[in-house]
Structure 1
Amino acid sequence: MHVPKLLQGVGSIPDQYKGILLDQFGVLHDGKKPYPQAVEAVSELAAAGRKVLILSNSSRRAESILPKLVKMGFKESDFAGAISSGEIAWTALKERQGDFWKQLGTKCLHITWGSRGPISLKGLGLQVVTEPADAEFILAHGTEALGRGDDQEPEAIELDEIQALLQQCADKGGVPMLVANPDIMTVSGRSLLAMPGKLGQWYKGMGGEVHLLGKPDAVVYKRALEMLDLKAEEVLGVGDSVEHDIKGATAAGVDSVFIAGGIHAEDLGVFDAGDEIDLDMLRDWLAAYSSKPTFVLPFLSA
């Protein structure tokens, strides 16, 4: 059975990896503050001449990512750029390349964020509707609110209310769902927060058509390799989700580092930087997911 190699911080990453794809939530920060050694670890990677690219399932546009990291204490100069699921979704809706996108329609039921800040649809020419009967497609950016268009405040909504709306769309039929963040859960301090990928799971279970825009889809890794101008074997993906970060990297031929202290911390008993990883338990746990990361770290550390 597969056991990933335990790294002793980013300084022990082999020299063959010239590019590093970093997830955000659960790797760099917990949604509220950076992890203890994350800022130093990123700077060490950059100082070693590695190209560090953020590869995030965030449903926000890529341009918003680095400024937020800078506010947390990270140095913008340490990063080669950022790719987000939100950017991929925005571009697909803007360019409308391919039959599916051309035939999608413009009337959308928009599920977005509330307290975390709603996501703008500016420039996409969409008409936001609030009744499933009027929707030509569902756009899931968040899990907290029902959008009413950029000129109005979104309406706070509970998860069970979202389920009811999704069921109405599924019953209607022919209403595809675009998930602009495929993550199922993310870290929020010490808690876990339901993400748009969870809504996608529900809708698929209702018989609905679901399109996930982000990791683990191959398109995001193709774009990342193009941005870095590197081959897959020269790049290392770092993430805390076996279903998205590790699965996506493996499928793209990219080696990976699994961060055990992220969304799976409770499963693995890794809550603080000093906690040791039980490699025997990790081996069995990874086998249940058919996941084979190349390396493992408790947290991103220098």
Structure 2
Amino acid sequence: MLDFVVKGGPVVPTLKGIQQLAETRRFKAWFLDQFGVLHDGKQPYPGAISACRFSSVSFGILVRLFQLGCFYFLTVERLATSGAKMVVISNSSRRASITMEKLKTLGFDPSLFLGAITSGELTHQYLQRLTDHFACHSVFMALTLNRRNDAWFAALGRSCIHMTWNDRGAISLEVAFRYCPPPKFLLQSLTQTKISGLASVAEAVTMPFDKVFKNIALGLPSGTSLPLTLEDLEEILKRCAVKNIPMVVANPDFVTVEARALRVMPGTLASKYEKLGGEVKWMGKPDEKIYKSAMAMAGVDAVDCIAVGDSLHHDIKGANIAGIQSAFITCGIHATELGLGKFGDTADPSSVQALALTHDAHPS
């Protein structure tokens, strides 16, 4: 059953189990975040794989629900039989195909999902030359054609500084850009570092530069990477900001959950660049482009969708912007802020409401 709680904001249903919601066949499409919902970047959450190892007619997904700090099966058997579809939407700088391969290596059956839309895929398609020939989903072809009508992307040059992972494996641009030394054009800035004791998203974006940005590398044409010192990185950002060179960030997340720890993500660096006066083009959630792409892939309208995620700023706010329903997972990146120390802990409704108001993001 559903409980309704009012704590200084809009009425929000508290879900004690949403199998009943699934059985209503209210939503034709379910848009699922991957990190913090299906897996933690290293391994799937307990039961998630077995939950997904049903036939296309009878299967389930494991999600942690709004107001609940424990796992519940969301049975989607009736949704599947009625034609409901699941799409993974992720703020990952990697291509959609790589995301599906990642799920497969973690033990998930990719055939249970309609597909994936990632911020990296959106970035790739918006930067792809219109004259390039490539095989892709019709949705992605439409995204590429959108560049012709997007004045901001159409005005970009063909030279770039490509910043990528150092300790996680470099990400190739896979588009026809000319790599060059700084400070010509900052395409995307990616960083990942585990900070001991990192407690919240807010802490990540306010920490000193030298404590956050480590393990950063310069992407090379060969696909390899060259590690950058903090001094190198800071100088690049300062020069680019002074010259009004735009940054396209292919992963706008501030932090993510990895094996129960918080890792700083590219959005944090992009936020620092904005504070230096630089211009940032944020790709992925919460921008509505990624949701519109998912809706196009599923062939549904906003009224027929629900998004499930653990980030108020990205997943829930993005759903609000796109005009679709949402379910907030409390034990993800906001767990510490909500006082949740372990799986099974239950978030206090007033704390959830207050945090949602802080982010101006309101779960359904």
TM-score when normalising by structure 2: 0.74
CA contact (8 A) 1:111 1:139 kept: yes
Which residue in 2 is equivalent to 1:221? 291
Following the alignment from structure 1 to structure 2, what is the Cα–Cα distance between the partners of residues 92 and 257? 29
How many pairs align?
Answer: 290
Structure 2 residue corresponding to 1:80, chosen from 103, 114, 117: 114
Q: Does the CA-based 8 Å contact 2:171-2:223 persist in structure 1?
A: no
- 2:258 and 2:99 map into 1 onto residues whose CA distance is 17
Query: CA distance change for structure 1 residues 113 and 217 in 2, over 3 Å: closer, same or farther?
Result: same
Query: What amino acid does structure 1 have at the position aligned with 2:77?
Result: A
Shift of 1:31: 1.3
Query: Over the residues paired in the alignment, what is the CA RMSD in angstroms?
Result: 2.0
- Corresponding residue for residue 47 of structure 1: 77
Distance 1:116 1:10 in 2: 36
Match of 1:139 among 181, 184, 188: 188
The answer as to 2:278 corresponding to 1:268 is: no
Preserved contact between residue 130 and residue 148 of structure 1 (Cα < 8 Å):
no
Q: Is the 8 A contact 1:59 1:181 kept in 2?
A: yes
Cα shift at 1:168: 1.9
Distance (whole Å) between structure 2 residues aligned to residue 218 and residue 246 of structure 1: 12
Q: Which residue number corresponds to residue 65 of structure 2?
A: none
- Greater mean alpha carbon deviation, residues 206-215 or residues 101-110: 101-110
Determine if contact 2:172/2:223 at 8 Å carries over to the other structure.
no
- Take 2:229 and 2:88, find their aligned partners in 1: how far apart are those partners? 31
- Shift in alpha-carbon separation, 1:148–1:82, aligned structure 2, 3 A: closer
What TM-score results when the alignment is normalised by the length of structure 1?
Answer: 0.89
Which deviates more, 9-18 or 245-254? 9-18
The partner residue of 2:248 within 153, 173, 178 is: 178
Task: Say whether 1:288 aligns with 2:358.
Answer: yes
Q: How far, CA to CA, are the matches of 1:25 and 1:160 in structure 2?
A: 31
Unmatched tracts of structure 2, length 5 or more: 1-8, 53-58, 61-74, 131-146, 193-214
Q: Give the drift of 1:75.
A: 1.6
Q: Which stretches in structure 1 are left out of the alignment for 5+ residues?
A: 295-302
The answer on whether the counterparts of 1:55 and 1:83 sit within 8 Å (CA) in structure 2 is: yes
Q: Does 1:100 align with 2:148?
A: no
Encode CA deviations 1:280-302: one digit per residue, 9 max, x unaligned.
Answer: 221222222222101xxxxxxxx
Q: Report the equivalent of 1:8.
A: 16
2:347 corresponds, among 260, 277, 297, to: 277
Q: Following the alignment from structure 1 to structure 2, what is the Cα–Cα distance between the partners of residues 159 and 3?
A: 46
Query: Which residue of the partner structure matches residue 297 of structure 1?
Result: none
Give the partner amino acid of 1:115. Answer: D
1:255 aligns with 2:325: yes
What is the deviation of 1:244? 0.7
**3-state SS in 2 of match to 1:265:** coil
- After superposition, residues 115-130 of structure 1 pair within 5 angstroms as 115-122=167-174, 124-130=175-181
- For the pair shown, which has the larger CA radius of gyration, 1 or 2? 2
> Which moved further from structure 2: 146-155 or 75-84?
146-155
CA contact (8 A) 2:170 2:219 kept: no
Q: CA deviation at 1:159?
A: 5.6
Q: Which amino acid aligns with 1:47?
A: E
The alignment status of 1:35 with 2:59, answered yes or no, reads no
Q: 1:275 to 1:41 in 2, by over 3 A?
A: farther
Distance 1:6 1:73 in 2: 31
Give the corresponding residue for 1:166.
237
What is the CA deviation profile of residues 28-57 of structure 1, one whole-angstrom value per residue up to 9, with x for unaligned ones?
A: 111111122333555315533131100001
Residue 160 of structure 1, CA deviation: 6.3
- Give the secondary structure class of the aligned counterpart of 2:107: coil
Instruction: Give the structure 2 partner of residue 19 of structure 1.
Output: 29
Query: How far apart, CA to CA, are the structure 1 residues paired with 2:93 and 2:218?
Result: 14
